[in-house]
Chains A and B, each alone.
Chain A
Amino acid sequence: MIKTDVIIIGGGATGCGIARDLALRGIPHCLVEKGHFAAGATGACHGLLHSGGRYAVTDPVAARECYEENLILRKIGKKCVEQTGGLFVRLPGDSKRFRELFLRGCENVGIPAEVISSTRALDLVPNLNPELEEAIRVPDCSIDPFRLCLLNIRTSEQCGGIILTRHKATEIIQSHGRCVGIKATDQTNGEIKEIQGKIIINATGAWADMVATLAGSEVPMSLVKGALVITNHRLTNMVINRLRHPSDGDIIVPNEAVCLAGTTALAIQDPDHLVIESPEVDTIISEAGRMIPHFNNTRIIRAFSGVRPLLKSKKADSHEMSRGFQIIDHENGMYSIAGGKLTTFRLMAEKMVDTIIASFGLRKPCETAEIPLDGQEELSGYPLSKRLADMKNIVCECELVTRQEVQRIVRQTGTRHVGDIQHRARLGMGPCQGGFCTFRALGIMNDMSVISPEQSMDMLRGFLQRRYKGIRYALWGDQLREEQLVEYIYLGILAMEKSK
């Protein structure tokens, strides 16, 4: 049995942010996550650190929060954030009225927005549609959500926080109408752990209502799925937005060696069963192709979707629903925090922890906006030149990850999951999507005797199914060729058996 003060359910950006905030304020806590970090909406988004511009017209409160957090994260998370800058581009036919609303909105919120000519915009991003009328420059950035979660968690762990990934909260224990703990089931072996705590925080995003139900409470939500696609290279060095009312396929974000474009908005019921429709993919590609024409003939390496955990609202178009967040006191020792955005995760965590601190009768101020994220140097201390110098030992050719790097991560983190290596080293994130290197990474772990043969086969099978879920919506052209080759490798050459 584990005893702690605060139990956080959910290992997305919000949950990880809360863990760090609690750690810095010296409050014992335990975080329980059913999968791995950033597995929900955190990892299934653009990876855009909003300037706030996107919401300047429709949601000034969210816009202001975004801009303030943008400034903070650029300061505390230098190695997670790439200061790309962003453009809102106006194409022929796009409303001039919206342009005025946009500029006024930015001014009201205080977001620096500079109107630049089409010539200047094309100088900055040569791949832009040469027909563009003009562009507005804003301080959008790109952010790595996986690293962000890992760094937040690092601080928590160093301060003694207990982190249980692959543990699903299956029961909330109540006594005299108060939540006093949870039961968490280890997803790898079915073992059940009991965790006692004074406060439970439900930071499970799209799953918030399901978890609240465990304690007989509810969180009224609208679940809206958004699909995105990833290209196999960087078509722009700046974030590109369409200067119009938020709509499908109007944001392109560069991230490391690739670009992410999206998104769509479709109401769904069950966040565990997401499908992507071909028309969604086609819409994203053609809309992104309006801003960057090259998008139409570039290679798409996968499509994925996430669920925006939006709080219930009367607005019919989910693109216009509030991106604000809310803390719900269920008045039984459990709080739910829902809504919000990746960009505002730190602020959400701060407000959540402020609430808890007050309920404990403590008065320790939040420091997460001041102290830089710890451990950043180590995460990104692996420059390209160093990787290329050791060509002989490269096991992931797409992202240049060496055998030694895989071994180091396995030793240092004690992980037994190939997904953790992916998130730390970008193994398998390139064009072949792990087609070659996952066999190798698991082979290395197998040879290190850290996993059993059954585990390695299960993981290989699970990996192939998950990988396929993402790429099957982007199968044409070269990606289809690649997929046929990978299928031949695993099911033909390696004679992989279907699970018994």
Chain B
Amino acid sequence: MSITEHDIVIIGAGVAGLTAGALLAERGFKVALVTKGEPTACLSTGCVDVCSHDGNPLQSIKNLPPEHPYHLVDKRMIRESLNYFQTAMTDMGVPYKGSPEQNRLIMSALGTFKTSCLVPSTMEAAPQDDQESLHIITFQGLKDFYPGYIVSRRNHTKFSVFDAGMTTTMSLASRFEEKDFFEKFIAWMGTLDIREDKIAFPAVLGLESADKIVGTIAKVTGKPVFEIPTIPPSMPGRRLFNALKGFFRKKGGDIYWSWPVTGIEKTGDIIEAVTTPSEGRPNSINGKAFILSSGSFVGGGLTATRQSIMENVFHFPVHVPGPRETWFDNDYFSMNHGIGRVGIVTDASLRPADTPFKNIFVCGGILAETEILKNGCGHGLALATAHLAAKSCVEYLVP
């Protein structure tokens, strides 16, 4: 067995794991992040939803049910976690706009509005109502964006089509990183006579340089420009993940990529290592403290069978509100599906409930009672609980 020693081992490379990792690495701990693969953040709009029930996200958190894990994190820490995120992302060249005190709207690919809080700078100019006229730029044959949905909903909306010879968001985004292509594109933009108030794009404007690309187009056209997130693969989600990953590495953290955790080693109430299979011999990653941020079902942290729901790494007890019939409501759109409440219940320091272990903390989407879709609280909750998990780790290691 090959053994690697770390202070802290984090399982899962989503927004929660990478954030907790960066915080701990920054404090001088030796941090290992073990991941099976890309997180669900890559599938997301890239926006940080904090709590979407009313205009002020921090206020609306107060009205969440008492069992919601947001209530474990104090308000100051939630605000701090959002500020820390904005600073980090600006540092990494993927700036986010918005304030923790004020929700804002982004436009969806159906032309509807989605409530969020911190949004990538490329979505800052999204209209906040139906007033402004839009000119949509789309791409010939693009599979995941149909301007008709938006044009038919809004008055005074036009669209133009550019033929880039690419039909997926990913291939278009990488073309936008090429100088020659971008110049050609800008020249084509110059031939359009755009009279509308704002210019909208499907979110394909680059992989790393989206902020600059949007800035350049806005400058050339003299109009505010914004992106509309697409269905997965989502470029803003990928930019978010890449920037957070870069930030974690910059702080000195190690990532073990494509390493699914398949076993653990423990003595009494202390977890000592996680093990992962590899060619030849298994790897053991030893740590003094652990963070579980492996996500919910899509992320791979939880698995449902016909009979039960399991946590995949440590086999921690999972809170399940009822038998299989109750996991899903009859009405698809009700957002009242019992499955949204499934997850790991913890104590105030995010230690998993009903387990003997002292040195593991849980954060992000795998937590119980989150109802992420209903409450509009995905990445926001991940950031807040990551800060708390990191704090609990430090308190455990340095009493």
Contacts and interface: CB of A to CB of B under 8 A. Distances in A.
Nearest to A471: B328
Interface in A445-500: 446-447, 449, 452-453, 456-457, 460-461, 464-465, 468, 472, 475-477, 480-481, 484-485, 487-489, 491-499
Interface string B191-224: 0000000000000000000000000000000000
Given A446-B149, A447-B147, A495 B113 contact: yes
A480 B304 contact: yes
* Max chain A Cβ within 10 angstroms of own Cβ: one of B229, B305, B333, B337: B333
A453 B333 contact: no
A278 to B, nearest CB: 5
Is chain B's binding surface mostly helix, strand, loop or mixed?
Answer: loop
Contact of B298 (A439, A461, A485): A485
A440 B43 contact: no
Nearest to B106: A495
A446 B149 CA distance: 7
A489 B230 CA distance: 9
B335 interface: yes
A495 B108 contact: yes
Interface stretch (B73-81, B83-91, B138-146, B255-263): B138-146
A491 B371 CA distance: 13
A485 B298 CA distance: 6
A389 to B, nearest CB: 15
A477 B304 contact: yes
B112 A496 contact: yes
Interface residues of B, number: 46
Given A393-B141, A446-B149, A476-B324, A491 B373 contact: yes
Given A392-B167, A475-B328, A403 B232 contact: no
A439 B69 CA distance: 34
Nearest to A468: B332
Given A480-B304, A493-B108, A453 B141 contact: no
* Max chain B Cβ within 10 angstroms of own Cβ: one of A394, A492, A499: A492
Interface in B124-172: 141, 143-149, 152-153, 167
* Max chain B Cβ within 10 angstroms of own Cβ: one of A395, A484, A495: A495
B231 A494 contact: yes
Nearest to B231: A489
A390 to B, nearest CB: 10
Nearest to A474: B306
Given A472-B328, A494-B108, A440 B143 contact: yes
Contacts of A393: 141, 167
Contact of B146 (A447, A472, A493): A447
Contact of B231 (A392, A439, A498): A439
A320 interface: no
A103 interface: no
Interface in A37-52: none
Nearest to B374: A491
A325 interface: no
B45 interface: yes
A307 B199 CA distance: 53
B148 A446 contact: yes
Contacts of B331: 465
Is chain A's binding surface mostly helix, strand, loop or mixed?
Answer: helix
Contacts of A443: 145-146, 148-149
Nearest to B296: A484
Nearest to A394: B143
A465 to B, nearest CB: 5
A242 to B, nearest CB: 21
B239 to A, nearest CB: 15
B297 A498 contact: no
A484 B297 contact: yes
A497 B231 contact: no
A278 B149 CA distance: 38
Interface in B278-302: 296-298
A381 to B, nearest CB: 23
A481 B298 contact: yes
Given A465-B332, A495-B110, 13 more contacts: A392-B141, A403-B141, A443-B149, A447-B148, A453-B111, A464-B332, A464-B333, A465-B333, A476-B324, A477-B303, A487-B332, A492-B44, A494-B231
Interface of A: 278, 282, 285, 392-395, 403, 436, 439-440, 442-444, 446-447, 449, 452-453, 456-457, 460-461, 464-465, 468, 472, 475-477, 480-481, 484-485, 487-489, 491-499
Closest 4 CB pairs of A and B: A443-B146, A446-B148, A453-B152, A495-B114
26 contacts: A393-B141, A403-B141, A440-B144, A442-B146, A443-B148, A446-B149, A447-B147, A452-B152, A453-B148, A464-B332, A468-B328, A468-B332, A477-B304, A484-B298, A484-B339, A485-B298, A491-B335, A492-B373, A492-B378, A493-B114, A493-B229, A493-B230, A493-B232, A495-B110, A496-B112, A496-B333
